[in-house]
Amino acid sequence: MKTTSKGLSFNTRVAVVYGGKSKERPGSLISGKAVCVSLKKQGYKNIFWADPAQDNFIKKINNAEAAFLILHGRYGEDGKIQGYLETIGIPYTGSGILASALGMDKFYFKTLLAAANIPTPPSETLPNIPNRKNINIVVKKLGIPLFLKPFSEGGSLGSNVIHTKAQLINDITKFKNQGFDKFLAEKYIDGRALTVGVLQNGNKIDVLPILETISKKEFCDYEAKHNPRLHTYKCPASLKPELTNKIKVLAESVFKLVGCFGFCRVDFILDSETNTPFVLEINTLPGMSPNSNMATSAKAAKISYDQLVIKMLETAYDRPKYLP
């Protein structure tokens, strides 16, 4: 049996786990199919997909020797699938249970950042049945505009820039009807949207070039993220060397603080007035289409898409036994 690296072979039965039950399913399907194509092109002979939303998922995943996780959002990026794979003893890519759960829950993630003195916009929790008293308290603390986002979802789904109290009430009601249950109101920072990919190779952590997203909409919402006509990428972002280094150090610090493993992507907003980089979110299972943020940053670091896919696959066999 020909060995590739890290104990993998071209005959290893690899389940590419994508799709899932979250609202980010469409993006996961795109990423997962691209990963499947890449692995097969590179000589892996036993690649098959496994979708947690399908009835045959358990049977398929139990037949795998390794799982390449490319799920996004709840039930995939939040530690649930990682816990199942730990239980049945199948190696999987990326972060473990605890880091995945912390990264997915925006409230606990921001609490962790604040405890470590890592800059992040001030925020307040909101009930999913808003009343004028709660709204007044939040607006008084954070001001208007502010940013509304759900606790546990990605892709900017259930999110919006809020300009009035009435809009805040209406949007919470609208997003609740779409299936979102808990919300976070965040102080709005007018600035540049930056994201930083992080790759781990053994004990070595590499921070990829900083990518700037310029959206043609008020912010890079789900539509803008998935429509090339509505956004432009600039990688590396045009930043002074000192600021570039500061943001990269912060990205690595967040990676370590959350307890990530293998790879992640950290999102920032760079305040236009103060030039302060604020950490917004962490993506423990970032999108992996060939034109995704992660792939674009890797390309700027002279890492091809196929090479990036293999680096990610190898993390399934690098995981320390003690990693939570």
Closest CA to 279 of 156, 158, 194: 194
- For 240, the token pair is 């002074």
Least confidently predicted of 159-173, 206-220, 308-322: 206-220
User: How far, in Å, CA of 117 to CA of 112, rounded?
Assistant: 9
Q: How far apart are CA 164 and CA 146, in angstroms?
A: 9
DSSP-assigned letter for residue 71: -
Enter the tokens of residue 159.
């999110």
Q: How crowded is the C-beta side of 56, counted as CA atoms within 13 Å? A: 6
SS3 label, residue 14 = strand
| Vertex 80 angle, CA 78 and 86, to 5° | 120
Go through 92-111 and write b for each residue having 16 or more CB atoms within 10 A of its CB, e for each that does not.
bbbbbbbbbbbbbbbeebbe
Does residue 202 have a pLDDT over 90? no
With beta carbons less than 8 A apart as the criterion, state whether 311 and 199 touch. yes
- pLDDT at position 127: 73
Note if the pTM is more than 0.95: no
Please tell me the distance from the alpha carbon of residue 111 to that of residue 139, in angstroms, as a whole number. 20
As annotated, the residues of the chain forming the CATH 3.30.470.20 domain(s) are 102-119+190-318
pLDDT: is 177 or 267 the higher one?
267
Q: Per residue in 149-166, pLDDT tens?
A: 887 766 567 678 889 888
Give ranges for CATH 3.40.50.20 in the chain.
14-94
Count of CA atoms in the C-beta half-sphere (13 A) of 85? 31
The pLDDT value recorded for residue 132 is: 79
| Sequence ranges of the chain with CATH classification 3.30.1490.20 | 123-187
Alpha helices, DSSP H only, in the chain? 25-41, 57-61, 80-88, 97-104, 106-115, 132-142, 165-177, 222-226, 241-258, 293-300, 305-318
Selected from 3.30.470.10, 2.60.40.10, 3.30.470.20, 3.30.530.20, the CATH number assigned to the domain covering 102-119+190-318 reads 3.30.470.20
Find, among 285, 301, 307, 289, the residue nearest to 92 by Cα. Answer: 285
Fold of 14-94: Rossmann fold (3.40.50)
- Cα–Cα distance between 36 and 68 in angstroms, integer? 9
| DSSP code string of 146-210 | EEEEESS--TTTT-EEE-SHHHHHHHHHHHHHTT---EEEEE---EEEEEEEEEEETTEEEEPPP
For the domain bounded by 123-187, which CATH number is listed?
Answer: 3.30.1490.20
Residue 118 amino acid letter: I
68's tokens: 């390449």
**pLDDT band per the 50, 70, 90 thresholds, residue 1:** very low
Place of tokens 């997915």: 104
Q: How confident is the model at residue 224 (pLDDT cuts 50, 70, 90)?
A: low
